[in-house]
A and B are shown apart, each in its own frame.
Chain A
């Protein structure tokens, strides 16, 4: 069985940990500084007042004038989610965190440990704790497990057997499907409001009308495919942080602070000479919120200058003055994986190369040595950019 653990509104719950009193009042996660002014998840009191997640800010305030806006705490939410995933891993589950607040895991390996499917799922809920209102759905397929979790109440587990799957999915809303906003409206205009209605349409017709995304959604509405769940590799817990005596908005100062953090993090003994593959830069903002960006390096590296150069442009994306800057080494590789150049640039001996090519040509015949000729370097199709043309001399 595949289990899906969901925590709706995790980012709001994480942000409300700073101001717990707001949890009982109409409150919503404030829109991101960049992007559309759409509110994030809302509290139960706000929902009761008619405010829906994803509403425009103006519309939400007009619907509920007493609505409190909670500053997003992206780094706090990431940290909380990491703790939750870690707690599940400590309980023996191999977890694939799909997104913030949604994680999948296979139960097969732990069912015997905990005495069956239901006890294993209860153990997973207990590992997460009651604070987050987590819920779990389990089914033979990923999408079905997600659908089951979407109907479960906080602290509840819902298990769907394979033979009950079509009947279970049929009455569920289309919003469970990963479609663009406009697509739901398009489907509703066609009279398709439930998964069962979409699943009942011919696949070819859906693909023709809605394209590949629609076809994929149609496949999911019929239960989805039987993909395996692969647990993640737990991230490395190496980090360095710097707290400023007063909020800093000056990019030059932040760049210097970043340089110091890179040096400090690389010098940590826990790194054990491993190279960095993925790093995260997080900041606590003066306004009370937080900010976080992750970066995967093109080549694993332990060169402080290279890492600093790769991370520095991210500092320009900071939405406001910062009171704390933090660098996390998310993924590390073994040092033996570093690829060096066989020949240093400029060290080619052209005459020896020519001799070598002549020998190859002599032993394998005409046409075996080629040169690359660019024919359409602007082409978006890589194989159309150049041809291999035999070089016979």
Chain B
């Protein structure tokens, strides 16, 4: 696999540089009142195929609360987006850095929408 430019990396003690695989990327998502996506990065959602929640590491300071949606865009592309944090009902969401495709260096914090492969 060829690493992409701008990918977040972490230096390991022995000096090898590693990056997370399938790390989430900030996305611009417009959602309806129920929190389901209507647009992902300005591309309209044709249908929501599946929805699920992931709650993990709740026993740590960095708990993971995500609401995932597998959607099919009007272009026919399948994509998975999730809303980070408990407030999944917002209408227009974006990560703190809401530039589409911006790299999230670690587990996303503080709410916002992300796309993710391998979910």
Contact = CB atoms under 8 A, between A and B. Distances in A.
Interface of A: 142-143, 178, 207, 211-212, 215-216, 219-220, 224-228, 230, 233, 277-278, 296, 298-300, 331, 333, 337, 357, 360, 364, 367-372, 379-390
A296 B64 CA distance: 29
B98 interface: no
A385 B32 contact: no
A381 B87 contact: no
Interface string B83-109: 000111101000000000000000100
Contact of B107 (A300, A381, A389): A381
The main secondary structure of chain B at its interface with chain A is loop
B3 A370 contact: yes
Interface of B: 1-3, 7, 16-24, 32-35, 38, 44, 46-47, 49, 54, 56-57, 64, 72, 75-76, 78, 86-89, 91, 107, 116-119
Given A142-B33, A368-B3, A370-B1, A387 B72 contact: no
Given A370-B3, A381-B107, A212 B49 contact: no
10 contacts: A207-B86, A215-B89, A226-B91, A230-B44, A331-B47, A357-B2, A368-B3, A371-B1, A380-B54, A381-B56
Contact of B54 (A216, A360, A381): A381
A382 B23 CA distance: 8
A272 B110 CA distance: 48
A178 B33 CA distance: 11
A228 B47 CA distance: 16
Contacts of B49: 296, 298
A369 B2 CA distance: 4
B3 A367 contact: yes
A370 B19 contact: yes
A372 B19 CA distance: 10
A390 B119 contact: no
B91 A383 contact: no
- The 10 A-B pairs at the shortest CB distance, nearest first, are namely A337-B76, A386-B21, A216-B89, A388-B19, A212-B86, A383-B20, A383-B23, A225-B91, A382-B118, A382-B119
Contacts of A207: 86
Contacts of A216: 35, 89
The winner among B1, B35, B78 for most chain A CB atoms within 10 A is B1
A215 B119 contact: no
Contacts of B54: 380-381
B21 A383 contact: yes
Contacts of B20: 383-384, 386-388
Nearest to A392: B16
B67 to A, nearest CB: 9
A388 B72 contact: no
A211 B53 CA distance: 15
Given A225-B91, A277-B72, A382 B116 contact: yes
The winner among A178, A278, A380 for most chain B CB atoms within 10 A is A380
A347 to B, nearest CB: 19
Given A278-B47, A383-B24, A388-B21, A369 B3 contact: yes
Given A228-B38, A360-B2, A388-B19, 5 more contacts: A226-B91, A367-B17, A369-B1, A380-B54, A388-B1
A383 B18 contact: no
B65 to A, nearest CB: 9
Contact of A389 (B18, B87, B117): B18
Nearest to B21: A386
A133 B16 CA distance: 70
A371 B24 CA distance: 19
Contacts of A357: 2
B3 A212 contact: no
B18 A390 contact: yes
Contacts of B46: 233
A227 B33 contact: yes
A220 B91 CA distance: 12
A219 B90 CA distance: 10
Contact of B91 (A227, A230, A386): A227
Contacts of A385: 21-22, 118
Contacts of A383: 20-24, 107, 116
Contacts of A228: 38
A356 to B, nearest CB: 10
Nearest to B67: A212
A378 B118 CA distance: 13
A220 B1 CA distance: 47
Contacts of B56: 379-381
A143 B33 contact: yes
